[in-house]
Amino acid sequence: MIKNFPLEQTVKPLLEWFQNNARTLPWRENPTPYHVWVSEIMLQQTRVEAVKPYFERFIKALPEISSLAECEEERLLKLWEGLGYYNRARNMQEAARTVIKEHGGQLPADYEKLLKLKGVGHYTAGAIASIAYGIPVPAVDGNVLRVITRVSADDSDIMKQSFRTKVEGALQAIIPKDQASPFNQALMELGATVCLPGGAPQCDKCPWQDFCEAYRQDLWSEIPVKSKAKPRKIEEKTVFIIQDEEKIVLRKRPSRGLLAGLYEFPNISGHLSEEEALLWLKEQNLSPIRIRKLEPAKHIFSHVEWHMTGYVIRVDELAEQKGNMMFVEQAESEERYPIPAAFGAYTKYINIRLGNEKFSGGS
C-alpha cells in the first residue's frame, strides 16, 4: 500500500502548501465543533460548491446544537431540500438530541464517542475530532484515498472497506500530534484542488510531485481503481399536478426509503394514457374539468432512474381530503413543503391556468 514511501518526509511540504493554498470556506471562518459537524455532514458525497449556500442558511436558521435538536422536522427538511440524502438531516437531529441528553450539550472531544452518534462514521468522527478539537486521528475520505493511492501508485480497489481501514492505519502512524487539523484538511484540499478526479491532475502545483509514483509513471488516469457500480433500475411514472382555483394536491412520502418524509405530487407507476389517467382520477374521487398532457422528464438518482410523464389537471373544487392526499394552498406548496428536485420539471405547472383543452382523447 503505502510501502516504499517515506511519508514522514511528506508532512512538512504538505502543511506548507496548505498554509499558502487553503480555500476560504464558510465553515472555516469560525470552526466551532457544531459548525464543523454540520459542514461535514453536508459534505458527505456532496461538493463544496453545492454545500456553501446550504451551510450559511442552515447556521443562520439553527445557530446552536439546541436549536437543531428542537427544530420541527418539516422545517429541518425544508432547510435540506435539494441537498439530497435526507436521512443525513434526520440522523444529525437525532444525534443533536443525544448530545443534549448525554453529553451536556457539547459535542464530545472523543473519537469513539463521536463515532457512536447517528450519522457519524469513521470519516466524520475523524474530521470533527481533528478539525474541531485537534485530536490526532485520520479522516479518510475520497480525496485522501485518491491522493494516497496515486502518490504510492497503489492499484487497490478503493471501494473496499478493508483498504480504507489500511489507509487509516497508515495515516494514524504519521499524523503530526500537534497539527492534526491542518494535516487532514491539507490531504483533502490537495485531492479537491490539485490531485483532481475526472480530468488531469495539476501535478505542477503539487507539493508531492517529487516523490509521486503516479506522476513518475504517468499513471494518473489509472489510479485510483474503483469497482464499477451496477446499472441503475429504470422506473416509469406518471405525475399528476391536480389543482382547483387555489389549491394543489400533495402527498407526504413514507417515513422510510427513497425521499423519506418529503412531499410529492401524486404519482403512480407506469406511463398512463389520458384515458387511463382519467380513470385513475375517478378512482380517487376526483372530477377533472380539464386535463393536459405534460412533457416527459427524467430524474437520475444513484441507484434508480425515474422516467416520468405528467398531466396537469383542473378540478372544480378540492374539498374533503381523502386518504394520503393533502390539499395545499398553491402559494404555500413550494414555500412550506419540502419537495425533492426529482419533481422539478413539473413544479412550474403549479398555479397554471388551463385553456379549453378538455378530454382531448388519444395520446
Partner DNA sequence: AATTCGGGGCC
Partner DNA sequence: GGCCCAGAATT
> How many of the chain's residues bind DNA (CB under 7 A)?
61
Separation between Cα atoms, residue 138 and residue 130, nearest integer Å: 8
In whole angstroms, how far apart are CA 59 and each of 54, 233, 241? 9, 37, 34
Closer to DNA by Cβ: residue 87 or 209: 87
Give SS3 for 2: coil
**Which 228-287 residues touch DNA, going by CB under 7 A?**
228-230, 256-260
Question: In sequence order, what are the residues at sequence separation of 6 or more whose Cβ sits closer than 8 angstroms to the Cβ of residue 282?
Answer: none
Exactly one of 35, 122, 247, 293 binds DNA (CB under 7 A); that residue is: 122
Task: Indicate the angle between helix axes 33-42 and 87-102, nearest 10 degrees.
Answer: 160
Establish if 24 lies at the interface with DNA (CB under 7 A): no
Kindly state the smallest distance separating residue 275's Cβ from DNA, in Å: 29
Q: Which of 8, 29, 40, 72 is catalytic?
A: 40
Can you name the residues that pair with 310 across neighbouring β-strands? 239, 294
8 Å CB contact between 195 and 150? yes
Establish if 199 lies at the interface with DNA (CB under 7 A): yes
Kindly state the smallest distance separating residue 259's Cβ from DNA, in Å: 4
Strand residue runs (E) in the chain: 233-243, 247-252, 263-264, 267-269, 288-300, 304-315, 325-329
Kindly state the smallest distance separating residue 291's Cβ from DNA, in Å: 26
Give SS3 for 59: helix
8 Å CB contact between 240 and 251? no
Whether 40 is catalytic is: yes
Kindly state the smallest distance separating residue 254's Cβ from DNA, in Å: 9
Closer to DNA by Cβ: residue 10 or 130: 130
Query: Contact region for DNA (CB under 7 A) — 79-87, 239-247, 269-277, 325-333?
Result: 79-87
**Which 169-188 residues touch DNA, going by CB under 7 A?**
185, 188
Residues forming the active site: 40
Binding stretches for DNA (CB under 7 A)? 23, 25, 39-40, 43-50, 82-87, 91, 118-125, 127, 141-143, 146, 160-162, 185, 188-189, 191-192, 197-199, 226, 228-230, 256-260, 299-303, 340-342, 344
